[in-house]
A and B are shown apart, each in its own frame.
Chain A
Amino acid sequence: MASSLRCFLRTGKNAVSALQRREFHRTLPVAVQVTVRDALNQAMDEELERDERVFLLGEEVAQYDGAYKVSRGLWKKYGDKRIIDTPITEMGFAGIAVGAAMAGLRPICEFMTFNFSMQAIDQVINSAAKTYYMSAGQQSVPIVFRGPNGASAGVAAQHSQCFAAWYGHCPGLKVVSPWSAEDAKGLLKSAIRDDNPVVFLENELMYGVPFEMSEESQSKDFTIPIGKAKVERQGNHITLVTHSRYVSHCLDAAAVLAKEGIECEVINLRTIRPLDVESIETSVMKTNHLVTVEGGWPQYGVGAEICARIMEGPAFNYLDAPVTRVTGVDIPMPYAKILEDNSVPQIKDVIFSVKKTLNV
């Protein structure tokens, strides 16, 4: 009962399921179901509470509770000073956020989607990412740029681009791409505590997806280190490396393939930059086959980088086949559902690519 109460206090509306489980043993670990949205909300809430220099700014983050409700309840709790609604002026407010970071605050700058970050990309790259280097260590920029990235549903070409490769290209930035609720919470907390500019790529289609969150992840000090990938599923025959929403696709594909006797190892990158090449290499040296899966376009993308890095390292000699990239189709995102569905990797595309790579 006591542990149920604890859950209630921590997770708000998701406590109902916890209470219904009727835990009587206080010592048993209690996992709860938390959506990615709520996990992000918890992360920000906890960090706002922990450090008064942390504040959130962006369009509709305060009184509207967030365009995607990620910042729900925060303005009510923390007020105008810490949760700031901005006008629709990305270049301006991103620059203001960077300046505030230079002067000692720890801003979280939300882009309603990363498509709009293109308006402000000069501030992200030239003012935030490069400053610590240009100043030879005198001026740090502890800022988080966060928001949904990549394809959504029916929002068409201008609202569907994946920016992982664009930001992942630049030294001075850390680029994070969570998948699960635990990823979202732990990585966002790390990003906020990080003294450097972090681009935090969320995914709108994942916001409503519930995940089980361990007892450990419910702690206010729970963080996940930036720069370390996670093996979500062990396997011996082939390695699938992916990030964000496509982790789900890979796990689903792996379940189907397992029935045919193909055991996939699924690696959730969690961080795009710095890339955890070692985890990929270790896996490839075991499985001898590699498929990368991403939502972004193929040319100069995350998968392309992984291919290059594998070739430059020890794992190359363990490959029994060239690396395969599964990516978004190299076109602007169309609107019609049938077209959109065929513009991004589906589970069948992953299964197909695995079998081709294994030559089965």
Chain B
Amino acid sequence: MLSNISSVLRAGAQRNGAAVVMSVRSYADFTTQATFEIKKCDVHKLDEAPATQVVMTRDEGLQYYRTMQTMRRMELKADQLYKQKIIRGFCHLYDGQEACAVGIEGGITLSDHLITAYRAHGYTYTRGGTVKEIMAELTGRRGGIAKGKGGSMHMYCKNFYGGNGIVGAQVPLGAGVALACKYFGNNEVCVSLYGDGAANQGQIFETYNMAALWKLPAIFVCENNRYGMGTSVERASASTDYYKRGDYIPGLRVDGMDVLCVREATRFAADHCRSGKGPILMELQTYRYHGHSMSDPGVSYRTREEIQEVRGKSDPISLLKDRMLSNNMASVEELKEIDVEVRKEIEDAAQFATTDPEPPLEELCNHIFYNDPPLEVRGTNPWTKLKSVS
């Protein structure tokens, strides 16, 4: 039985000329790594570009698959919980854009830094948050990553500076983190993300100027998902070549639906920064399946056909899956097993997120100041004096 499967798989592997069959390790005869041809990046003010032949190992592939699938299912579960009114307020979903977060993380390390805007659940996960604490934050419970005090747009963990609600404000913040990296001389970089809508913000151009002037190790990443809320890029920007908008800052335009493209470009960008050359800009061409937020159905400014087309031809998870299967790097069953595990993890997390109690009222006024003695906070009326501890 096993030898039949392995011969079928080996035959499949030989059909793809780009695959390199290495010596077998696993019982089911999988390829441990393969070389892939990826789309060449458009470059701006750069003599070199990221490699177009890249190696991905089986382990990497499985990790990327699992991570993207987890992010996908987590966002879909959030959609469900929002419609059940268990999540309230703002909820900006990331499904469709998984390759960006996973690819970026693949090109840096956890000791590097990252900051993004409000479409942040995926990044909270790749930066080290657990699904449980992310979902509990969305439902506003005490087990949330910010104890229920931040919500969808204000999640933080080590070397991840949120989660920021004001469009564009995170970009100068990210350059500030990069300044700290340079100041400390720790060879770390800071990735600052923003969208195609935010790309026109004045403060971003102010930041480009200072980052270039001071050669800050900042990787600016524009996640171009074609729409700033309901406004298409053509209607918002005089120039839609976002990778060129940094002007004197070199730029790359990257296929944001291909996790390997994103990873390679990120590695290239990180090397550029770490070698002291200053900032660099990456435009990731990507797509979100959901509307801007849960209050936007997402079909008034784009057609359902467009959404289906992207889903059918460019879905990042499908792309990775096809690559792995056709290169004998995993089996259908194995990936299905991962799906089942992911589904369970999400269900458990959702269960926790719906049953964990809300934060206690005693927490209301805490965390105003750090490292300060307790202070009194005025309540809604003069007789209500509340206590705040650091």
| A92-B209, A101-B176, A102-B176 given; 14 more Cβ-contact pairs under 8 Å | A91-B203, A92-B172, A92-B207, A96-B179, A100-B183, A127-B166, A127-B169, A132-B369, A136-B367, A137-B370, A138-B156, A171-B377, A172-B369, A274-B375
Q: State whether A132 touches B367 (Cβ < 8 A).
A: yes
Which positions in B face A, CB cutoff 8 Å?
113, 115, 146-150, 154, 156-157, 161-162, 164-166, 169, 171-181, 183-184, 190, 202-203, 206-207, 209-210, 213-214, 366-372, 375, 377, 382, 390
Report the bound CA distance from A81 to B183 in whole Å: 7
User: A129-175: which have CB < 8 Å to B?
Assistant: 131-140, 142, 171-172, 174
Contact with A196, one of B171, B172, B173, B370 (Cβ below 8 angstroms): B370
CB of B353, distance to nearest CB on chain A (Å): 16
Chain B contacts for A272, CB-based, 8 A: none
Q: State whether B369 touches A136 (Cβ < 8 A).
A: no
Chain B contacts for A260, CB-based, 8 A: none
Q: State whether B169 touches A126 (Cβ < 8 A).
A: yes
Q: Can you list, as one digit per residue, whether each of A78-89 has a CB less than 8 Å from chain B (1) or not (0)?
A: 000100101101
Contact with A136, one of B147, B164, B165 (Cβ below 8 angstroms): B147
Is A98 part of the binding interface, using a Cβ–Cβ cutoff of 8 Å? yes
Is A298 part of the binding interface, using a Cβ–Cβ cutoff of 8 Å? no
> Which 9 A/B pairs are nearest by Cβ-Cβ distance?
A99-B176, A95-B172, A92-B206, A103-B180, A99-B173, A89-B206, A136-B147, A140-B370, A312-B382
Known contacts: A132-B369, A133-B367, A136-B146. The answer to whether A103 contacts B181 by CB under 8 A is yes
Q: List 12 A-B contacts (CB under 8 A).
A: A87-B210, A89-B203, A96-B172, A96-B176, A96-B210, A99-B178, A100-B183, A105-B179, A126-B165, A134-B146, A195-B370, A196-B370
Is A94 part of the binding interface, using a Cβ–Cβ cutoff of 8 Å? yes
Q: State whether A102 touches B173 (Cβ < 8 A).
A: yes
Q: State whether B206 touches A91 (Cβ < 8 A).
A: yes
Known contacts: A95-B176, A105-B183, A126-B169. The answer to whether A136 contacts B372 by CB under 8 A is no
Chain A contacts for B184, CB-based, 8 A: 104
Report the bound CA distance from A137 to B359 in whole Å: 14
Which positions in A face B, CB cutoff 8 Å?
55, 81, 84, 86-87, 89, 91-105, 122-123, 126-127, 131-140, 142, 171-172, 174, 195-196, 274, 312
Q: State whether B169 touches A122 (Cβ < 8 A).
A: yes
Contact with B209, one of A87, A99, A137 (Cβ below 8 angstroms): A87
Which partner residue on chain B sits nearest A103 by CB separation? B180
Report the bound CA distance from A311 to B74 in whole Å: 52
Report the bound CA distance from A319 to B367 in whole Å: 36
Q: State whether B367 touches A99 (Cβ < 8 A).
A: no
Which partner residue on chain A sits nearest B213 by CB separation? A87
Contact with A137, one of B166, B202, B366 (Cβ below 8 angstroms): B366
Known contacts: A81-B183, A135-B162. The answer to whether A99 contacts B172 by CB under 8 A is yes
Chain B contacts for A86, CB-based, 8 A: 210
Contact with A91, one of B148, B161, B202 (Cβ below 8 angstroms): B202
